[in-house]
Amino acid sequence: MMGVREEYYTRKSRFIIILFLLFIILAFTLALSLTTGSTGFSFTNPLSLMFKVVKGGHLTPDERVQLYIRIPRTLTALAVGALLAVSGVLIQSITRNPLAEPFLLGLSSGALVFVCLSVLVTPVILCYRYLLALTAFTGAMIALVLTFIISEIAGATVTSLILAGIAVTSLFSGLSHILTFLVQMKLNRPFMILLLGSFSTSMLSDIPLLYTVLFLGFTMAMLMAKRLNAIMFGDEHSLQLGYNPTTTRRLSVILVSFMTGTTVAIAGIIGFIGLVIPHISRLIIGSDNRFVIVYSALIGAIVLCLTDVAVRVLSLLYGVGELPVGAITSMFGAPFFIYLVVSRLRGRV
């Protein structure tokens, strides 16, 4: 018994040390993102900038870029990365499937389809991001439920879930391509960028919504961490510990759909963050979701923000305009997915 306790405290100490290091990396990432862009490398203290705005002071061109482009873009990238990573932890835990993630199970495409439909019916909804996020949540929920239904019919195995997800993703992806094209034609504004994800349209007004959802989603996920740990060992084990697995799954599905839908409404489809980041976290700290959720949120925020910085640097170097962030994450995430599939087939995952 003492050995188990010592192991727990050792892991907890390791968790705190690595957590401290992650916060340092996060601070470095934040500074790097705020100083990288088309106007060169400059840094204005965000707090002093906010005070200047409150006092009604005159903003220089560089300060305007900082306030209206870099700050919202950076904060959006951090929040979206954290939301997608935590969503990945939840979906992998309740399905006991290391290959599961919001993008591969059709949630992102389903959310985008409903976003496009709502914009086609009522274009003014673009001014109300909360309503747009609720619409995306509905689409994500429908897509995930459809994936689960098809998987159950096919035998409810790990493979059937992924194949069902790929089928649903393909269906909604085709619809989203058509609908985004129609929206772009109707509004005469770039909308198809949402198919591959981008932070180029980030606004300060999006920040309260994103961080409200992040706070609620992260808090709920942490409160459910013990439930998720239990369900990973099977439904019977979960029941023995007093946790209803059906309730856990339903709460997780709602939470994942809500978080994923919000990210799609703000930044479009960004894949593989929810797949790769939870695996990195488990590799560092183990499988205890009380630790994995925290690490995943931080690592997801760091990775996606650094990816956005890389996108901006590449765009500046080659003068190719705005590269989609989702294309970069897919380019690096797809090989990792292939590795997991091969490892799974060989019995190593």
Cα-based angle 178, 87, 94 (whole degrees, multiple of 5):
110
Matching residue, tokens 């949120």 = 297
Question: Which CATH topology does 2-345 take?
Answer: ABC transporter involved in vitamin B12 uptake, BtuC (1.10.3470)
Position 187 scores a pLDDT of 82
> What six digits make up the tokens of 89?
């932890």
Contact between residue 308 and residue 34 where contact means Cβ atoms under 8 Å apart = no
Residues belonging to the chain: 349
Contact between residue 13 and residue 289 where contact means Cβ atoms under 8 Å apart = no
Question: pLDDT for 41-83, tens place per residue?
Answer: 555 566 677 677 777 767 777 777 787 888 999 999 999 999 9
In the predicted structure, residue 259 carries a pLDDT above the cut 80: yes
Position 345 scores a pLDDT of 67
Which residue, 207, 232, 206, 345, is CA-closest to 292?
232
CB atoms within 10 A of CB 136: 30
Position 108 scores a pLDDT of 92
Question: pLDDT for 298-329, tens place per residue?
Answer: 999 999 999 999 998 888 887 777 788 988 89
Alpha carbon separation from 43 to 30, 73, 96, 283, 348 (Å, rounded):
11, 15, 45, 35, 47
> What six digits make up the tokens of 141?
């929920």
Contact between residue 76 and residue 207 where contact means Cβ atoms under 8 Å apart = yes
What pTM value is reported for the model? 0.91
Helices (H), the chain: 2-34, 46-54, 61-65, 71-95, 107-121, 129-153, 158-187, 207-223, 225-231, 235-240, 245-267, 273-285, 289-318, 325-345
Mean pLDDT of the 143-170 span: 85
Confidence band of 278 (pLDDT split at 50, 70, 90): very high
Question: pLDDT for 108-147, tens place per residue?
Answer: 999 999 999 999 998 888 888 889 999 999 999 999 999 9
User: Is the CA virtual torsion 237, 241, 247, 248 positive or negative?
Assistant: negative
Position 160 scores a pLDDT of 83
Main-chain phi, psi angles of 35, to 5 degrees: -110, 10
Dist CA 38 CA 132 (whole Å)? 30
